[in-house]
Chains A and B, each alone.
Chain A
Amino acid sequence: MPEVDDAYLVSRAQAGHPDAYEFLVQRHSGMAYRVALRLVGNHHEAQEIAQEALVTAWESLASFHADSSFSTWLYRIVTRRALNKVTRSRSDRSLDLLDDVPSSGDRTAAHVERNLMMDAVTNALATLPFSQRVVIVLHHFEGLSYAEVASVTRSTVPAVRSHLFRARRTLATRLEEWR
């Protein structure tokens, strides 16, 4: 993959070079899938959301004016699609975030205990209202700053802080029920 930044690849793609967009797909498909998986908790739905988001971004590239970074823009598309999916399905099934994590084959008690803890967090995350789940995933899992989360969610930093405060408290309470 060439050592050029996203802005350059976006400008080339907008100029009619689809292969420049292919580099962006290679660079960001992992993020799109990861965020979708953490938001909807289902491998197949996450794959579908990531695919649709990346194709939608290509189709909408002309309207992207670089007022945010490409990754912020893609985060926004992924979270919107995830919201649509969650709203449609209203599923209560547990998340399966660890389904695709390669297993080391280690079946020691410590490993089993660790997996149980990860499952507990995963399930606790799934019970959060979507707006709280988004801020937890973007801030704590993706490492976005408050300002970046605000940009993705088209919100404000105080609103993000408020959502995050409630989300952390809810998550901590739910985690307690699993301990």
Chain B
Amino acid sequence: MNDPAESRKAANHLLSVGKLACGADVDPLLEQVADGSGGQLNAHQRDCVHCRAAIGEFTALWDPVRELAATPVPAPAELTATVIRRIRRLVHDVGYTLQITDGGAIRIAACIVAVLARDSARLVPGVRVAFGRSSHRTLGAFAGDGPLGQRPAAAAGVLGRTAVVDLAVAVNYGMPVQDVARDIQRQVIAALHHGLGLQNVTVNVTVDDVLDNAAD
């Protein structure tokens, strides 16, 4: 039945009539088609022209639904970046490194220190994934109880040219964990020194998972 007007009449009829001439209920046929089983006819349907015609009508009706469902809906390009920006503001990591140069002061946000440390760690062979965070308590330990140590900025993991970074790392199964951890410390310290000019860097590495090479 290729004529749209005929098709419309037929399907309208089907939906309102409730039963076919053969006695079969109409609704289960729509369910069958919508479930993607329109091609799997039972014994009755194989021999019944009424059922086969009804299934054909419902298939024509439901195909555009299936096609729309399969149409990609790309997310707006800025969505992910906007959400991540908002979350970083919520984390409220307000600490900055401070370097006094002849040209003035250079401040680098603690979150940048954490990102650079994390990204450097990820480049170390054997590292599957690494996450950085600022180290509140550890920094407090060497910042003492002085005014800086009590300020919110001190809780960010950076102070002057000093940084403390905690890294949580998962390594690939079979890698020598301790060697990987030492390589991470070396690489992160070098990256923060060369990239940000930090001179006193402590890198605490926690290897908290060993993951198989297959994607989880």
Contact = CB atoms under 8 A, between A and B. Distances in A.
Contacts, number: 138
A20 B131 contact: yes
A22 B84 CA distance: 6
B193 to A, nearest CB: 21
Interface stretch (A81-89, A104-112, A168-176): A168-176
Interface string A14-34: 011111111001100110111
Contacts of B114: 19
A60 B83 CA distance: 15
B133 A22 contact: no
A121 B79 contact: no
A55 B90 CA distance: 9
Given A2-B128, A4-B129, A59 B90 contact: yes
Given A172-B58, A172-B61, A179 B8 contact: yes
A98 interface: yes
Contact of B211 (A4, A19, A122): A4
Interface in A90-135: 97-98, 100-102, 114, 117-118, 120-122
A50 interface: yes
Q: Chain B binding site: helix, strand, loop or mixed by DSSP? A: helix
A5 B74 contact: no
A17 B132 contact: yes
B73 interface: yes
A37 B133 CA distance: 34
A92 to B, nearest CB: 20
A108 B82 CA distance: 38
Contact of B30 (A29, A118, A168): A168
Nearest to B89: A55
Nearest to A43: B76
A100 B11 contact: no
B43 interface: no
B105 interface: no
A20 B209 CA distance: 14
User: Would you list the 6 A-B pairs with minimal beta carbon distance, nearest first?
Assistant: A17-B131, A2-B129, A3-B215, A5-B216, A33-B75, A30-B75
Interface of A: 2-5, 8, 12, 15-22, 25-26, 29-30, 32-34, 37-38, 43, 47, 50-51, 54-55, 58-59, 97-98, 100-102, 114, 117-118, 120-122, 140-141, 165, 168-169, 171-173, 175-176, 179
28 contacts: A2-B122, A2-B128, A4-B128, A8-B170, A8-B209, A12-B168, A17-B131, A17-B132, A22-B84, A25-B83, A29-B75, A30-B73, A33-B76, A34-B73, A38-B73, A47-B79, A51-B86, A54-B83, A58-B90, A100-B74, A117-B67, A118-B67, A118-B68, A141-B69, A169-B15, A171-B65, A172-B11, A176-B61
